[in-house]
Amino acid sequence: VFINRHVAVQIELAADKNPVVRPYQTLVFPHASASELAEAMPHSASGLLQLLKVSDPKKSLSEIATDAALNVPSATEFAKTLLAHETCVAANPLNKATVLACSEDAWHFIDLHSLEFSQVFPPLSIHCAVSILTRGIPLGELISRLVAGIGEESDVLGSTVMESGGAKRSHVELVTEGSSENLKDERRKTTERYVFALAVWLQSKQIVVAEQEYLVSGTFITDRRSQGYSVVDGCESTEHEVLRFTENCLLGFVSTLAFCWRFNLDSRRLARFRSWGLRQGRLRVVARIPHEGDDWGYTQ
């Protein structure tokens, strides 16, 4: 198409080029670690350098921004720069309550990264690791089982945990240093480090993802005289604020993380709202992996 003797080039939507990352998400690094990237970063990029130094897959971007002494918009822009260069992947923060599941393209990525995994986590096979981490139990419960030496997970991972990640100390050495409590504490710390290292690595390769909770409701009570109303929102909130809970947010497509971020809710208030809805039979909680289109059209 020619306009004023110039060739007109169709401009693509900015949303197609600019990666999206939210303050409640975190960054995981599939190639070089955050510390390795920080070492290679010029000192002129001080803000990005500081972000990389304190990056933690257990913390949200807003928490990382606080640790880096950055405001959230600046931290978000730095994160978008890293995402645009494919040096990191946006994901949800990991904690002991996290339940992992296979991603939609898990088996493709397993075949693609199996050799690299065997080099990073010998002698464990990637198939065993994925199988154990995606059994529908929280990471904290998995760690407790491994420490206690119970379950099939312990049979597969028990010896591997103590032989990997710099934890090649024998049972006798640990007992000699202190009591059985010290031994158990040392084993728990080692196990926790190893399990989270596995989870972060598999998450960075997009093999596993963290399940998210989505709220689904029917018709909600909005009359102040209705029983249980004050439990929903506390004394200071208005009826309008309760009504907006139901508007496009309780259809099973908005995660609780995004829900809290959108309405500036803390975990305590969300728990109050959640327990009220479940008790009244007006709310259902669905746990599943994120899909494209969730959270107002953005992929988790």
161-191 pLDDT, tens digit per residue, is 766 644 444 444 444 455 677 878 888 899 9
The amino acid at 113: H
Give me the residues paired with residue 102 across strands.
208
Q: Which residues pair with 212 in a beta bridge?
A: 288
pLDDT for the residue numbered 14: 43
Q: Which of 104-108, 115-119, 151-155, 260-264 has the lowest mean pLDDT?
A: 151-155
pLDDT band at 267 (very low <50, low <70, confident <90, very high): confident
Confidence of residue 220 (pLDDT cuts 50, 70, 90): low
Interval 38-80: pLDDT, tens: 998 887 778 999 999 999 999 999 999 999 999 999 999 999 9
Predicted confidence (pLDDT) at residue 299 exceeds the cutoff of 50? no
Distance CA 189, CA 203 (A): 21
CA 54 to CA 34: how far, in whole Å?
8
Residue type, 96: K
State mean pLDDT over 18-38: 92
What residue ranges do the domains of the chain occupy? Answer: 14-91, 100-209, 211-297
Report pTM. 0.79
pLDDT at 231 over 60: no
Strand blocks (E) in 211-250: 212-217
- Model confidence at 116: pLDDT above 60: yes
CA separation for the pair 89, 34 (Å, rounded): 12
Tell whether the model's pLDDT for residue 134 goes beyond 60.
yes
